[in-house]
Structure 1
Amino acid sequence: MSRLALTERLNQPMRQPKELLAYTADGPKVYLDDRALRYHYFPRAEWQRGLNLGTGFEQYKEKNETGIHLDSILTALIEHERQKGRVDAKIITWRGVLTRIISLCKSPEEDLSFNVTGFDGQVFIEYDEEHDRQKKAQEKPFPMGKKFGYTGYCFEKFATLPKPWGECTRAEIEGRYKGTASHGLEYCTLVRSGVGSIKVVYAGEVDSVEGEKDPKDPLGRYVELKTASAIKHIKQAERFEDKLFLSWLQSFLVGTHKVVYAFRDRDLRITAVEEYKTDKIPSLVKNSKINPTPRWNGNDAISFYAVVLSWIKDTVEDGKTYKLRHTPNSQFLELVPSDYSLPDRKVSFLLPEFVEWRESQTK
């Protein structure tokens, strides 16, 4: 077992994220196109109508998050490597995995577990679905939790169009305020970034694009959409600053330039919409008048990210599988050898087609 203290830091520059490709995911299926890309459109006159973010909740069904592994990422990587050669990166994972790990620098009470394997000179990290399932089953029920989660999907439905505004019919523009928000297809960006000399490839879902996607700078047009309770008192303001940490981190990691928040009242009606430039969020929190000491520091998060990547790179060996875990309020991250593997997979949890592809390139 190897351990890393949460107090460790490494001062290294963050690599500018670069999109390798974008793809549409439909469960296990991957399409290398923009069919699921949504276009941001939510003028002030529309949200001022007091739209209800609970619209359609009665028919809503929660998303099935099981069985995702790294399959869509690895499928997309096969196509990328066929055209441009083996991807130059040490670690391959989901943006959400990185977000959870980095968040430990601010929230050491989190209970985390991930599956890790070394293959072909690279490190692959996926969610530990069994751990997450057990954790969710043990959580105390929060009656409004599901409904609050739904408001995020509903806002995405309200604030986006399936095509640029000029190409949409009136029915498409006005119809987005009716019916139930569904998960549907996911539009994902696969980027390469990292810290210092360590390169990381990861994928994350994109909520929308502003205007039309720029082939020369696709990340610069992406928009993250979020919801939060309307801020009426100090405690709510503090909670919002905590939410901004995750919003900044999610957006920063994939180069999304803007986060748009819809604030909702107790009846889930939109009371305000605010835009935040991703690169300005850390200074906004730093200069907050709410707390004399900022609730989080972006540079500290990057320094923690850097030392975690370095530790993982130096610890994980080819042909071996591990659990990357953190128990609540522990002062350490741990990499523990594991025999975890899926019965139908040759290399731990990795997509068989990806393993075959890589092996074919060494013959």
Structure 2
Amino acid sequence: MSNDDQQPPQRKRRRTDAYPSFRLSHTESYQGNFPVYKQPQEITSYSIDHERRVWFDNREMKYYYPATSDKKDLNVGYDKMIQRDESIPEHIDTLLDALTNANAKQPDDNQITADIVTWRGIMTKILCTPYSRREPWELRATKYNGTIYMEEQVTDKKKNSEDQASDRQKMMSYWGYRFETLCTVTKPPHEMTKKDPELQERLTASANTNIQYCILAKTKLGNNSIIMGAEVDCCRDVKPKDPLQQPSNYIELKTSRVIESERNQYSFDR
């Protein structure tokens, strides 16, 4: 082919379906002064029952009451566990419904608007990314009236991992739910007695992951105001009336493997 017949090189077309992304540097690059983080203030709370119906009240709120038996078998009830159907996308619908309900009760645009509205778990994913390089994630984000609404887009890798989970892995996932069952009750601790039937019933109880108690809280990280929705495991005692004191009354229950190495310790600290 002569030079006259040759076509000029064509510029590569930019993929329009590619997701925006950002580069990660070494963790040392993120050292420095932490931006000012404002004490979260609760906006509202709501319950989701065993049928995934939303109630704008505290009916599903649990209270922390330490396990009363030495026999804390986390395998008990696994065969009776009721698992939420994760194939049904719920997005951030309940979060937005709760904001709408809160504003209807007491109109205040400053209370229900922010630069970012999302789940607490999404903020955790973002902030822990430099330390969790083997845990990819994707997010959906929509900007509307100056607010960025974010939710998770489940990756194919995560879907495949969940679909291929072994019976042992599924059992280990259950342990966290079972631990919550052993350490919580449905009424304030000061109303409990050592012979309360609920204490005996929870020894053999299973878990229903459809049931949730969630709160919405507003905070500020640097110059960015954030409204975060979060599931709450339990409360220390009766819920304070002061919205600023409410978040400190909540307890996050976690299980962990026995720490036997520096790597185990690093994972736990992370």
CA, structure 1 residues 138+24, in 2 after alignment: closer, same or farther (shift >3 Å)? Answer: closer
> Which residue type is aligned with residue 54 of structure 1?
N
Structure 2 portions without partners, runs of 5+: 1-18
Instruction: Tell me the percent identity.
Output: 27
Q: Deviations over 1:297-344 (max 9, x none)?
A: xxxxxxxxxxxxxxxxxxxxxxxxxxxxxxxxxxxxxxxxxxxxxxxx
Counterpart selection for 1:5 from 4, 13, 23:
23
Structure 1: gaps of 5 or more residues = 246-363
CA distance in 1, matches of 2:20, 2:123: 19
- What is the alpha-carbon distance in structure 2 between the residues aligned to residue 153 and residue 135 of structure 1? 20
Q: How does 1:1-363 map to 2 (within 5 A)?
A: 3-7=21-25, 9=30, 11=33, 12-26=35-49, 29-42=53-66, 46-47=68-69, 49-65=70-86, 66-82=88-104, 83-86=106-109, 87-129=112-154, 131=155, 135-138=158-161, 141-168=165-192, 170-216=196-242, 217-231=245-259, 233-234=260-261, 238-245=263-270
Distance 1:146 1:88, change over 3 A: same
The offset of 1:29, in angstroms, is: 3.2
1:134-168 deviation line (CA, Å, top 9, x unaligned)? 53225653442111111110110000001113435
Q: Give, in angstroms, the shift of residue 184 of structure 1.
A: 4.0
CA distance in 2, matches of 1:17, 1:239: 31
- Max radius of gyration: which structure? 2
TM-score, normalised via structure 1 length: 0.60
Separation in structure 1 between the aligned mates of residue 184 and residue 261 of structure 2, nearest angstrom: 32
**Aligned-residue RMSD, C-alpha:** 2.3
- Aligned mates of 2:182, 2:269 — CA distance in 1: 21
| Count of equivalent residues | 237
Greater relative contact order structure (CA < 8 Å, 6+ sep): 2
Structure 2 distance, partners of 1:35, 1:239, is 37
